[in-house]
Amino acid sequence: MRRQQKSILITDRSSIGEARRTANLAAQELGFDEERRSDIGITVTEVATNILLHAQGGELLICPFTKKETNWLDILGMDSGPGISDIGRAMEDGYSTVGTAGQGLGAVNRLSDQSSLYSIPGKGTVQWSRFLRGTVPEQVLGIVSIPVHGETQCGDGFFTEAGSSQSLYMMVDGLGHGAGAAEAAEEAIATVRRFSREPVLDIISRSHDALKKTRGAAMSLAVVDHDRLVVTYAGVGNIGASLITGTNSRSLVSQNGTLGAIMPRVPQEYSYPIERTTTLLMFSDGLGTKTSLAAYPGLQNRNPALIAGVLYRDFARKRDDATVLLAPIGGTLQ
């Protein structure tokens, strides 16, 4: 089930309440009990309050997920404020630079099932918290998928399918935004899910046929052979993708066209060797073409959900739906 993620701009005290109510509704829909919904509400309040007090504003993302028997909720608070010079001390109870009780970051860390923070002095902070209902997700993923301001449906979409010997990652961007774009994305996701075990170019061809009844979409597929450490990739349209290994990054090749309307005359797939430490990055054109980790010391070693939040904060164009996906594909990223 594809669940809609939401963005709340944190501009004043009233937006903190809006963020808390939105998170509580998402938690209810995921089946969290009253006690955990209370923990989620406290976390959202603390994160949003920190954004307002320390950076005078920012953004909070509420990202619900369902995968098989597991539901989880990611909370991402982000700002471009002064940053945190001593993260270790900031996590201590009682420490505050603005005269509060100093319980915020410590409380967030205790209440969350998983959490992490990335901050660069002078460039801002991103705080990530995850609440789980069920078992730990089988895939270590980071996904942010936010509709353009004013729309309730996101015209971007994604699909992942993990296996011991082969895994598949797909991203789609329906033309335009709103309901029509979301319809195209849903059709592409359904098609890829149905034919996920077929060769990559066959999935592309089937998706093209299925999308003819919609406004069309850009789409990319990456199939990982874990035994051979090879990625097979094919894309049509402006989905960006790269393979990140340490400080090195390699862009993946997509062809011009629009599935459902204009297919490349000769569709092509490309094979890329990977290493055990390689991470796949995919992003829609709601993020800038220069999206990368190059300017962020140590970020490539952090949880993919936190990385996705940092990239969304710094590269989202804000005039279109924006989706970014990160997945360790050669091994497990702690």
The strand pairing partners of 80, in sequence order, are none
Token pair, residue 263, equals 């297919």
User: What local confidence, expressed as pLDDT, does residue 99 receive?
Assistant: 40
Residue 334 domain flag: no
How many CB atoms sit inside 10 A of residue 238's CB? Answer: 16
Task: Say which CATH number the domain at 76 has.
Answer: 3.30.565.10
Cβ(136)–Cβ(317) below 8 Å = no
Asked if 196 and 308 sit in the same domain, the reply is yes
**pLDDT for residue 331:** 58
18 has which bridge partners? Answer: none
Which range marks the domain in which residue 192 is found? Answer: 142-328
72 shares a domain with 166: no
Which of 110, 133, 156 terminates a domain? The answer is 133
Decide: 250 and 272 in contact? Cβ < 8 Å. Answer: yes
Strand stretches in 124-165, DSSP E: 124-133, 142-146, 156-161
- Cβ atoms 73, 26 nearer than 8 A: yes
**Tens place of pLDDT for every residue, the chain, 334 residues?**
578 999 999 999 999 999 999 999 999 999 999 999 999 999 999 999 999 999 999 999 999 999 888 999 999 999 999 998 666 565 655 444 444 433 567 889 999 999 999 999 999 999 999 999 988 777 789 999 999 999 999 999 999 998 889 999 999 999 999 999 999 999 999 999 999 999 999 999 999 999 999 999 999 999 999 999 999 999 999 999 999 998 899 999 999 999 999 999 999 999 999 999 999 999 999 999 999 998 999 999 999 999 999 999 999 999 999 999 999 998 543 3
Burial class (CB in 10 A: 0-12, 13-18, 19+), 323: buried
Question: What CATH number has the domain bearing residue 176?
Answer: 3.60.40.10
315 and 180, same domain (yes or no): yes
* pTM, entire model: 0.92
**Do residues 146 and 103 share a domain?**
no
